[in-house]
Amino acid sequence: MALRTSQLGYPRIGEQREWKRTLEAYWKGERSKERFYEEMKQIRLSHLQKQRDAHVDYIPVGDFSFYDHVLDTALMFNVIPERFAKSPADPLDTYFAMARGSDDGEACEMTKWFDTNYHYIVPEFHRSWVPKVTTNYILQAYEEAKKELGIEAKPVLVGPFTFLKLSKGYTDNEFPQLAEKLVPLYEQVISELYHAGASLIQLDEPSLVTTLSEGDIEQLKGIYRELAEKLPEVSLLLQTYFGSIDHFEQIVSLPVKGIGLDFIHDKGVNLQAIKAHGFPEDKLLGAGIIDGRNIWKTDVRDTLSLLTELQEVVPSEHLLVQPSSSLLHVPVTLKYETKLDQELLNGLAYAEEKLYELHLLKTISNHPTDEAAKQTFEEYQQSVDTFKQAPFRKLTDISTDSDLPTERTHTYEERQGLQEKKWHLPFLPTTTIGSFPQTSDVKRTRTEWRRGELDDDTYDTFVKGKIEKWITIQEEVGLDVLVHGEFERNDMVEYFGEKLNGFAVTQNGWVQSYGSRCVKPPVVYGNVSFEKPMTVKETEFAQSLTKKPVKGMLTGPVTILNWSFVRNDIPNRDVTRQIAKALVEEVKALEQAGIEMIQMDEPALREGLPLKKHEQQTYLDWAVEAFRLATAQVKPTTQIHTHMCYCEFHDIIDSIKALDADVISIETSRSHGELIETFKTNVYDKGIGLGVYDIHSPQIPNVEKMLNVIKQALNVLPAQAFWVNPDCGLKTRTEEQTIAALKNMVTATKKVREEWKVSQ
């Protein structure tokens, strides 16, 4: 029997982001529920058809979602926070309330999906949780694929071990009791799928590539032992991705039909383990040999060699050729990329092209002597070789810049005194994170300018008008430190990718970040360097309109790295250092223009943290070094801000301190103030703003809630160093929501100031 191909997941957003438009139209009331369901169904079926047309043998269902697949799983198992379960409601309303918030309560926490730029909704267990299957949506998807397209699909759902590991609301010692309640629900869902005809059911367990204890492994064994005992006839594929598994022999011995392993991001560890320990003769191996997270073409010659090595241990009939992870993390198709240089296009593969690569590898492996197959294979490899040999792939020498400073000339204490004298800010200074609403006229005007329908002067006049409007609004609201609003920017990373050498910007390279929020990461294809000032014009103009300080807004080197598609031929550390050196020049240009509050955002610093604990400190060391390299040369009176969001910070608090930023703003509202607990045991001695409201929710935060967050924070943080701000940028909100929320934030701050003055 020949080897087969398998898919782990497909991008939800559609070729032209049809999914996003349908979702947002429904939220705005422009789609009825019936029409919403129908449009989503057509998008879902079209994705299945694409995979069938690409000759994928095992096509997944259950990967499609209206918002997030972890949220889907939570709703399916009735893991609904009590604040949303008080009264009967339409399941779709409850679903979006959990994701976005409602009058009944704040949205569930949102955080990074492992070390990617995708965000998932964190399931919340509570004491009164009633274990039950509300709706088997995986079964519905499976039956739909069979009925509508005749596809016998492979159901995919988040595995029980990972689902619990990603959840909150319980202590570590309560894990076994929760698993005991949860696993029967999985048994019900899986049994219904099996009896409907599913021949292979995939359980995603990416948590297995993190650093696990022996206790974790015993819990894992118990879960899968019970599944096997209750469902002996069912074929389960336990799928891992994003790295290697440490407990190889124990995991591959679990009572399942197959094991899926990542052979791209495992740093060779999974392959070494298979060679050293072999692989069970009765199991399938899902071999992730095509990169599911980056956009570079597969070197099919090298990959065929890898496949040959695997076939020496695992027979072809037991091999499934597949991407290293879901293709959720890459754009849909290259067909709309008409402006990229051919040299660069030679090296790119989006989701559709990766499906072609799967088929190509299957064909040449199953028919190695077929002349047509060999010719197609060689032609594809030639395009890869041409790209690799391009002049822009040659790395410039980065060893000659070791003398660049990475430390400020003054300590924080010294700087703090100098900055207080310079700025004269009030107690609890208020500010925002940077961006203001990207309204339809902003997007339309920018698009017209990019198409050449508007000249530069007309566009600049439009942007200046927006800046002037929002400087006035900020002053009227009563903010203490202002921003220009970033109306000229499409995205906080793509904007810099357009202006730095070594980057390319795509036309349609969209990927989902969270909910309907899609981003278009720039492509780092060559050596990065500074060309000319990127942010000075708009910031300098904004500062000319007010006597209050206006922050210069930059994206930090680590975030630019982590939110780009990065070249895969050199270490990430080297790319980050190149970006940092380019940002040094931009910081100098801002200072020279009189901008002496500069915010360099690093929201992605935590998400780049390796999943293996023993690799984390090395990453943090060079990430911190890059930030400090970019900011160390400013004057002591220049105040450096940074921002981070939607991460668990307790495990990197020392590195946050090491950044040596004068002020850091961190999300705390969406995690319901839990971050504040971190500062009860970790002293933070620099300026800090804990975001007092969730900007991703359309709900207007009330004064009382923000008042409570500020007071909580003041119990554990130095009052004189505390700032008040939203938890992230405001580009996704409407103007009305933004102004109302900021007014409430300033009102709450003034109340605390008055109370504090009385108490003192």
**Interhelix angle 351-366/300-311, nearest 10 degrees:** 50
Q: Is 159 marked as binding a ligand?
A: no
546: DSSP letter: -
Q: Give the dihedral sign, CA 387/388/390/394.
A: positive
Q: How far apart are CA 186 and CA 194, in angstroms?
A: 12
Q: How far apart are CA 117 and CA 490, in angstroms?
A: 17
Contact 1, 322 (CB under 8 A): no
**Number of other CB atoms surrounding residue 327 within 10 Å:** 27
Residues 6+ away with beta carbon under 8 Å from 323: 7, 8, 288, 290, 291, 292, 354, 358
Q: Is 112 marked as binding a ligand?
A: yes
Burial class from Cβ neighbours inside 10 Å (0-12, 13-18, 19+) for residue 45 reads: middle
- E-state strands within 692-734: 722-723
Q: Is 501 marked as binding a ligand?
A: no
Q: Is 517 marked as binding a ligand?
A: yes
Q: Is 20 marked as binding a ligand?
A: yes
Q: How far apart are CA 299 and CA 466, in angstroms?
A: 47
Residues 6+ away with beta carbon under 8 Å from 741: 693, 695, 700, 701, 726, 733
**Number of other CB atoms surrounding residue 451 within 10 Å:** 8
Candidates 473, 665, 701; CA nearest to 553 is 665
Candidates 539, 540, 528, 537; CA nearest to 493 is 528
Q: How far apart are CA 7 and CA 155, in angstroms?
A: 11
Candidates 194, 289, 268, 325; CA nearest to 3 is 289
- Whole-Å CA distances, 53 to 57, 265, 288, 357: 10, 28, 21, 13
Q: How far apart are CA 64 and CA 144, in angstroms?
A: 13
Pairing of strands 110-112, 119-121: antiparallel
Amino acid identity of residue 562, one-letter, is: N
Q: Is 601 marked as binding a ligand?
A: yes
Q: Is 728 marked as binding a ligand?
A: yes
Q: How many residues belong to the chain?
A: 760
388, containing H or E segment: helix 371-388
Q: Is 15 marked as binding a ligand?
A: no
Q: How far apart are CA 637 and CA 599, in angstroms?
A: 14
Q: Which two tokens stand for residue 157?
A: 């759902």
Give yes or no: 696 in active site: yes
Q: Is 191 marked as binding a ligand?
A: no
Q: Which two tokens stand for residue 465?
A: 């008008």
Q: Which of 265, 329, 641, 696 is catalytic?
A: 696
Q: Is 366 marked as binding a ligand?
A: no
Q: Is 378 marked as binding a ligand?
A: no
- Rg (C-alpha) for the chain, rounded Å, is 26
- Whole-Å CA distances, 157 to 112, 118, 183, 202: 18, 17, 13, 7
Question: φ and ψ at 603, to 5 degrees?
Answer: -65, -20
Q: ∠ CA(244), CA(249), CA(252), 5° rounding?
A: 75
What are the beta bridge partners of residue 61?
155
Residue 168: helix, strand or coil by DSSP? strand
Candidates 204, 207, 256; CA nearest to 228 is 256
Q: Which two tokens stand for residue 331?
A: 């754009």
Q: How far apart are CA 671 and CA 607, in angstroms?
A: 16
Amino acid identity of residue 745, one-letter, is: M
Q: Is 563 marked as binding a ligand?
A: yes
Q: Is 367 marked as binding a ligand?
A: no
Q: Is 393 marked as binding a ligand?
A: no
What are the beta bridge partners of residue 322?
288
Candidates 457, 447, 358; CA nearest to 60 is 358
Q: Is 394 marked as binding a ligand?
A: no
In the annotated binding site, the residues are 17-20, 112, 117, 433-435, 486, 517-518, 563, 601, 607, 643, 645, 667, 728
In the annotated binding site for L-homocysteine, the residues are 433-435, 486, 601
In the annotated binding site for L-methionine, the residues are 433-435, 486, 601
Q: Which residues have a catalytic role annotated?
A: 696
In the annotated binding site for Zn(2+), the residues are 643, 645, 667, 728
In the annotated binding site for 5-methyltetrahydropteroyltri-L-glutamate, the residues are 17-20, 112, 117, 517-518, 563, 607
